[in-house]
Amino acid sequence: MSDDRPVTPVMKPDAEDEKHPRDMRFWLIFLSLCVCGFITALEMGVISAALPTIVDDLHGSQFMWVGSAYALGATALLPFSGGLAQLFGRRPVLLGSLALFAVGSVVCGAAKSMNTLIAGRTIQGLGGGGIISLSQIVVADLVPLRERGSFNGLITLAYSVGCGISPIVGGSLAATGQWRWIFYLNVPICGLAAVLVVAFLRLRTPPGTLREKLQRIDYIGNILVVGATTSTVLALTWGGIQFSWGSANILVPLIVGLCGLAVFLIYEARFAAHPMVPFDVMSTRTGLSGYAQTFFTSMILITIIYYLQVYFQACYNVSPTAAGVDGLGVAFITAPVGLFAGIVIQKTHSYRVPLWIGWIWIVVGIALLGTLDADTSRGKAIGYSIIAAIGMGTLILGSYFPVLAPVSVTKNAHALAFFVFLRNFSLVWGVTVGGTVLQNQLHKRLPAEFAAQFPGGVEIAYAAIPLIRTLEEPLKTQVRNAFADSLKIVWWVTTGIAGLGLLCSLGMKHYPLHTSVDKDWGLDGAPQSKVDDIESNDIGKPESHQIVG
């Protein structure tokens, strides 16, 4: 691992003056990426408000698999997507991801059972993970890191709008018995994105025959990461729900999965001829800090999206649509804050201070959520969630700056694929940890006469919510209090996770932000960019004279 010794980088005299013109074609490509971000965000949040209705309609259990299956699909093949993009180009991989997402949406919309729905969500996840990864990679191909703050802020804006309206869309369709259109609506949006990609996303593609490219695929690494990820997700999803955490059914796949991930990283670092995750993307303390912050940020985000909806519906006796409206503050604060943070980073060329401030906001906001009772005013609940959202906006946008700044721009695709892998893998942990805590606490706190209605005994949160408004007093109040007190534990655990993220952020050093892009990529037919602004022997060295973040 690099010792991060202070070495002043050698800048090319004209690096600061390099211009990157933006024509109509560039902006149409950027529009296609915003549409891609919108549909993945819409799908992530739309389920949270509608899930109680969907579970009830399909007479199913295993509600956690609806979220975990998507996260599993979106995670397992992510490093592979970065490798494919390097070998075959960005456009075919992005189009394939959009096709998978659309197919998975159709399967979900037509589902007659929870098993079919879970299968469709897995296919959706395969496509969604590729869409997110390729969108990030294309932005890196077209926009230098130093200029990327505002551009990623705009993508974050589209993403946040999708997150913001998704609970309302999902709740409205669920309330009218039309939840299947939650999935069918994705198909025309995917079609629009595909048309834009085909028409305008014409980037350079690497030379070589198909046989040569197939020989450069890291097959062993892919088998390791898919198997290890699947094993880990199985354990996390079953733990405390189908089997106790101490049982062999949980410990064996969890240990095998985590050890498999360690073996994958060792193999990539020492043995792979064409690694999916080159070791140098993780060879600095700053890069590791960025990856850790990414993991914790996404884990916290999905916890807020899922379990704030549970609080609103269970404690305030509101419909899924009204709960979605109450959650709008999170999305519509996250977006402008993310854009503002991106502009600040772009103007100051500094990412550390914004990220530190973001973590402080998150810790304070989630700690305040941990004070909510069943009768706390809705204004306080919404206000506390907005405080956390201010930090979220900064972290969602800014956490990859410490990931990319220490490495050469030629490693963008691999670094970003692993970045998105960790972001999606953490979604599984967020849904699972929050769900396990909630289920176990409800099992202890719900009145016995109410819990007796659920033979499963533990997986009851989403099945119980629609029944609360039909209960007579004092049972209704007792159930509401049980949900509120159980969710307090969820928020306290999440506050601890946010504290870990803050601690990890303290390990960052300042690196100069690259002012050009990889010369081997870019718009087809456009002049190639100059090589990176930092000489190769200075890549990965922090800037010694910088005192500010």
- Is 266 found in the same domain as 282? no
Give the pLDDT of residue 384.
Answer: 92
- Residues 79, 122, single domain; the answer is yes
pLDDT > 90? residue 154: no
Closest CA to 192 of 43, 24, 34: 34
Mean predicted confidence (pLDDT) in 325-354? 82
Residue 278 lies in a domain: yes
Q: Using an 8 Å Cβ cutoff, are 445 and 482 in contact?
A: yes
Residue 537 lies in a domain: no
CB burial readout 65-91, b (16+ within 10 A) else e:
bbbbbbbbbbbbbbbbbbbbbbbbbbb
Instruction: State how far the Cα of 166 lies from the Cα of 305, in Å rounded to an integer.
Output: 10
Write the pLDDT tens digit of every residue in 471-515.
788 888 888 888 899 999 999 999 999 999 999 999 888 888 877
Q: What would the pLDDT profile of 89-101 be if each residue is shown by its tens digit?
A: 788 888 988 999 9
Closest-CA residue to 147 (of 443, 312, 347): 347
Tell me the whole-structure pTM to 2 decimals.
Answer: 0.76
Other Cβ atoms within 10 Å of 361 Cβ, number = 21
Q: Is residue 426 part of a domain?
A: yes
Closest CA to 323 of 53, 536, 29, 504: 53
What is the tens place of the pLDDT at every residue in 93-122? 889 889 999 999 999 888 888 888 888 988
Residues 306 and 441 in one domain: yes
Tell me if 539 is assigned to some domain. Answer: no
Task: Label each residue of 25-81 as H, E or C.
Answer: HHHHHHHHHHHHHHHHHHHHHHHHHHHHHHHHHCCCCCCHHHHHHHHHHHHHCHHHH
For residue 534, is pLDDT > 50? no
The CATH number that applies at residue 83 is 1.20.1250.20
246 and 371 belong to one structural domain: no
Whether 313 and 394 share a structural domain: yes
Indicate the residue type of 495. Answer: T
Residue 415 resides in a domain? yes
What CA–CA distance (Å, rounded) separates 211 from 194? 27
| 35 and 112 co-located in one domain | yes
The three-class DSSP label of residue 523 is strand
User: Can you give the residue range of the structural domain that contains 227?
Assistant: 218-273
Say what percent of the chain tops pLDDT 90: 13
Spatial separation of the C-alpha atoms in residues 418 and 264, rounded to whole Å: 12
- pLDDT at 448 > cutoff 50: yes
End-to-end CA distance of the chain: 22
Residues 123 and 243 in one domain: no
Least confident of 209-218, 393-402, 419-428, 531-540: 531-540
Judgement on whether residues 175 and 143 belong to the same structural domain of the protein: yes
Same domain, yes or no: 392 and 346: yes
| Number of structural domains found in the chain | 2
Last residue of a domain, one of 273, 301, 319: 273
Q: What is the pLDDT of residues 253-292, one digit of tens each?
A: 889 989 988 898 888 878 877 777 767 777 788 888 989 9
Residues 478 and 347 in one domain: yes
CA distance 505 to 291: 10
Q: How far is CA 227 from CA 19, 66, 128, 233, in A?
A: 45, 20, 19, 10
Shared-domain flag, residues 307 and 438 = yes
Give CA–CA dist 248/240, Å, rounded. Answer: 12
Encoded tokens for 10: 């050698």
Q: What's the pLDDT tens digit per position in 39-96?
A: 887 776 677 667 777 877 887 666 667 767 787 777 777 767 777 777 777 888 889 8
Q: Does 197 reside within a domain?
A: yes
117 is a domain residue = yes
Let me know if 289 is exposed, middle or buried by CB neighbors in 10 A (0-12, 13-18, 19+). Answer: buried
Quick check: is 17 in a domain? Answer: no
Q: Are residues 469 and 338 in the same domain?
A: yes
Task: Assign 456 a pLDDT band (cuts: 50, 70, 90).
Answer: low
pLDDT at 6: 39
